Structure 1
Amino acid sequence: MDPQNLEYINQLLDKDVELREKIKDQVTEFDKKTRTLTGLLNKIHSTPPSQVPELVATVTPVLQSCKETTAALAELTPPNQFWRWKDMWSVSLRNAVFSAAFVEYLRSGGLLSLPRAAETLGIKDEWQDRFTLSAEDYLHALITMVNELSRLAVNSVTMGDFEQPLKISTFVKDLFAGFAMLNLKNDALRRRYDSLKYDIKKIEEVVYDVSLRKLAPVQTDNT
């Protein structure tokens, strides 16, 4: 092989390694932030309803700081190479979206849309070819949120909040119905979607127990 060609290939390989290390550094920083978010949000399982707004307030600044990391990753990633590098940050991004979605539920009882999730993390439309929030990553994050809500349904009763499981049940069933209308071809995503049935069953058992004991008003659920 031509020595000049070898030298050129070596330079390309070196640049690849250098870029990978830079992205890895940012992903490590992203992981630190998402671990902090998860740790803070885990406190919800022992937080009385009256103190939930205070907990959300402590999480929000950390969530906002994720914008710095997404911007750094977008700047590092070369144009039209999103799919080449996305696996490096995919797990971190899903965890960040989970935190954003969970915060939205705790704040308003509603679902954080994909565009709003991207906006919350500072992901801009013009980054589409470099760094974006894919539908797959968004859906994985929502499934993680349902996993966490099934825990919260149980722990809310322990703390004397008997209405929360009913609210969670309505929210999760509505979300599950939405998933059922999607054409899920991704095997990993499909398996995780199927597992939601166990979370729903767990939540329904809590709601049944609360209703049977007449600890909370009976709600009509048409979902």
Structure 2
Amino acid sequence: MDLQNLEYINRLLDKDVDLREKIKDQVTELDKKTRTLSGMLNKIHSTPTGQLPSLIDSVTPYLESCRETTAALAELIPPNQFWRWKDMWSFSLRNAVFSATLVEFLRNGSLLSLSQASEVLGIKDEWQDRFALSAEDYLHALISLVNELSRLAVNSVTLGDFEQPIKISFFVKDLFAGFAMLNLKNDTLRRRYDSLKYDIKKIEEVVYDVSLRKLAPAKLNRE
């Protein structure tokens, strides 16, 4: 191998190392934001239902600040290199999407779609070849959402909110039915999906106890 060729290869390697470090810096920034979000959202387990709207309002600016980081990442990634670098931010992006879906459920009782989650995090369609929210990362975030809601179902009863577990049960069962219609070939995603049955069982036990004790309105139980 001649010297000129070696120098060219070295320049390519140095360029990759430099890009990797820049991506790593932005992913670290996204991690900081998602950790802050997780810490704030963890308060839902000790916050009375009536005070949840103000808590969600305080979380929203931090969620929206993730848009700055996603934009910075999209700016860094060369065209058509999404899949080359995706693994560097997947975990962090899943955490951000988890926070976004939890906020949506707490605020409106509804599911945030993949496109809506992308919009919340400022991920634009024209970035598809550089930075995007993959279906796999979105589904991982939804599984994390169910994990968190199963915990919330238990803690809501402790705080005297007997309707929340029933609402969570309807939501989670509908979500689980949607998962059942997907052809999941990713081993990690499949294993996590299979574990959802334990979360559903936990929620059902709470709902059964609440219903047996007639602590929630009968009309809500029938819906």
**Post-superposition CA distance 1:167-222 (Å, at most 9, x none):** 0000000000000000101110000000000000000000000011110123125x
Gapped runs of 5+ residues in structure 2? none
Aligned residue pairs: how many? 221
Cα shift at 1:91: 0.3
Q: Distance in 2 between matches of 1:114 and 1:67?
A: 16
Runs of 4+ in 1 over 4 A off after TM superposition: none
3-state secondary structure, aligned to 1:162: coil
Separation in structure 2 between the aligned mates of residue 145 and residue 30 of structure 1, nearest angstrom? 19
Partner deviation per Cα, 1:106-150 (whole Å, 9 max, x = no partner): 000000000000000000000000000000000000000000000
The amino acid across from 2:222 in the alignment is T
Which whole-Å CA distance do the structure 2 matches of 1:50 and 1:197 have between them?
30
Provide the rounded CA distance (Å) in 2 between the counterparts of 1:160 and 1:103.
Answer: 21
Residue 50 of structure 1 aligns with an amino acid whose one-letter code is G
Task: Return the alpha-carbon distance in structure 1 between the equivalents of residues 160 and 12 of structure 2.
Answer: 61
Corresponding residue for residue 21 of structure 1: 21
Deviation at 1:156? 0.1
Q: Which residue of 1 aligns with 2:99?
A: 99
For 1:179 and 1:217, locate their aligned partners in 2 and report how far apart those are by CA, in whole Å.
Answer: 29
User: Quick one: distance in 2 between partners of 1:220 and 1:202?
Assistant: 19
Question: Taking structure 1 as the reference length, what is the TM-score of the superposition?
Answer: 0.98
Correspondence for 1:8: 8
Within a 5 Å distance, the mapping from 1:1-150 to structure 2 comes to: 1-150=1-150
* Matched letter for residue 183 of structure 2: N
Residue equivalent to 1:205: 205
Q: CA RMSD in A?
A: 0.6
1:153: which partner in 2? 153
Q: In the alignment, what sits opposite 2:216?
A: 216
Identity %: 83
Cα distance in 1 for partners of 2:94, 2:188 equals: 14
Counterpart for residue 195 of structure 2: 195
TM-score (ref. length: structure 2): 0.98
Secondary structure in 1 matching 2:222: coil
